[in-house]
Structure 1
Amino acid sequence: MYRIVLLNGRYEDYTRYLDATQLVARWPVLRKMLSRGVRSAWEDRFTQLRPTAAA
């Protein structure tokens, strides 16, 4: 569900369906399923999603 919302959602969907804690926890797997553009957009906006932020 997170992948679908990340790829096709709108702001209202993000705030309704995504939980920040869950998104961060699942990001290492989710990022592999997303295109580079989508992945970069989310990681640029939320620095805690960047691979170096978790290390």
Structure 2
Amino acid sequence: MGLPTIRKLALKNKIVFGTGDYWRAPTLTTNMAFVRAVSQTGMSLFTIKHSLQALTGN
């Protein structure tokens, strides 16, 4: 929560990713803009990137 709240570091994303960071659980995301913005501050997050696609069964 020490990160500034700016356009790329929105409060809702800080809450979601921060919860995963607090519990040391990976966060599954397509939001790589947020992950890059955080990494530019020198912090790292435990994330798993997945490609943007519908998560539905056939």
Tell me the TM-score normalised to structure 1 length: 0.32
From the CA coordinates, give the structure whose radius of gyration is larger: 2
Name the one with the larger strand percent: 2
Name the one with the larger helix percent: 1
